[in-house]
A and B are shown apart, each in its own frame.
Chain A
């Protein structure tokens, strides 16, 4: 009925016409920048102390080495950065694919096979957060002299509700984590102690001058200022972590619509899912 070449050109023209009045809005760029800022708080922010010149870095010019150590000890254990284990500084680098490893919860067993051990998790939380995807990443740890200490696969399970995301990171316990900050809330589930911490990140442009209030906030162990953003943005990170059967679990999200107790409820659901 249609000549092949004619039909091909008609499809091409029809598709072009169908979308030629669509363009990316200014708001979309803002959303992308905001999302990147939040992701950076989990990853790039913590790479600042890297000795690798190619490492991406936020320009945290006003930070001392000591402060960075505290930041990392207080923030995410299972994402890239410098952490403090057994009193020593360890650089953690995590690499993964831009596309999810698995998008079906039924593939959890395959993911566990890749990891080499079974994990606690749920497909859906009672508060409505539901499974999005699983990523298997490769973790590499380097010592103070940039010597490779160990490497291992780690798992990241993402959950979503409306426009909010929560990630569950799981990895094998290697050494004891030092956390100087007092937890904001704790809960004991069986013989497992779960702690919840809340942190505030203020992203500012490189030219930003600290106010007196900023300087006072910087002294707190749950408030961090990070340079390199286009605009000033304040974001809140909620971080719940526990250790069970030789595995570290960390559940975290940004600007969540949940309080500490509700986050601890989610952790308890994971623990009870065993």
Chain B
């Protein structure tokens, strides 16, 4: 773990000096996390690719503005979620889209009733997340998927910790209501 952190810090230092190899290394490490987070926020595969692209281009262009070499991930997340938030707000997709339905249909290996029930429950929860307004959805994704603390989310979004807590609470209540209904 410590070695990983050191390796990442080295990549950041090299990237600040213009190393394309360092950029490729960081991209490889975070590309799937980035596109998945973007997908959960935008609810759309095409948008999530655009968001990931824009995020990594900004990383390349602005890496020297990162003051703390060990803080790459939260800094990148800040760029990512703000870019995704913007895309999500623009698209205003608050219902599941066709792509998500197709992807759900393509899921394989459902061999037991128990699996089906658990899968349906997971799909319903995922749909409830997608149905949230984007400002609530962003904090839910950052907290539950990216495992960020309230403080980290507040820093990334530039809002108060109390606002994050309030949004998480509201999101949770809304989702519960949707799932009950």
**Chain A residues within CB distance 8 Å of chain B:** 1-2, 7-8, 10-25, 28-29, 31-32, 35-36, 39, 43-44, 54, 56-57, 95-100, 103, 228, 230
Chain A residues with Cβ under 8 A from B52's Cβ?
24, 28, 32
Given A14-B123, A21-B103, A228-B20: A97 in contact with B56 (beta carbons within 8 A): no
Q: CA of A18 to CA of B140 in the docked complex: distance in angstroms?
A: 14
CB <8 Å contact, B36 and A17: no
Listed residue (A12, A19, A25, A103) with the most chain B CB atoms within 10 angstroms of its CB:
A19
Whether the Cβ atoms of A95 and B36 lie closer than 8 Å is: no
A43 to chain B, nearest CB (A): 7
CA distance A151 to B179 in the complex (A): 56
Band of interface residues on B: 35 or more
Excluding A10-B125, A28-B52, A99-B83, 19 further A-B contacts by CB distance (< 8 Å) are A1-B180, A2-B179, A14-B126, A15-B140, A18-B100, A18-B123, A22-B35, A22-B36, A24-B32, A29-B31, A31-B49, A32-B27, A32-B53, A36-B57, A36-B60, A54-B17, A95-B65, A98-B58, A98-B79
- Chain A residues contacting B135 (CB-CB under 8 Å) are none
Contact of A2 among B57, B129, B176 (CB under 8 A): B176
Chain A to chain B contacts (Cβ below 8 Å), 29 pairs: A1-B176, A8-B144, A11-B140, A12-B144, A12-B145, A14-B126, A17-B126, A18-B122, A19-B36, A19-B39, A19-B40, A20-B36, A21-B103, A22-B36, A22-B39, A22-B48, A24-B34, A28-B49, A31-B53, A32-B57, A39-B57, A39-B60, A43-B61, A56-B17, A57-B18, A98-B61, A99-B83, A228-B20, A230-B20
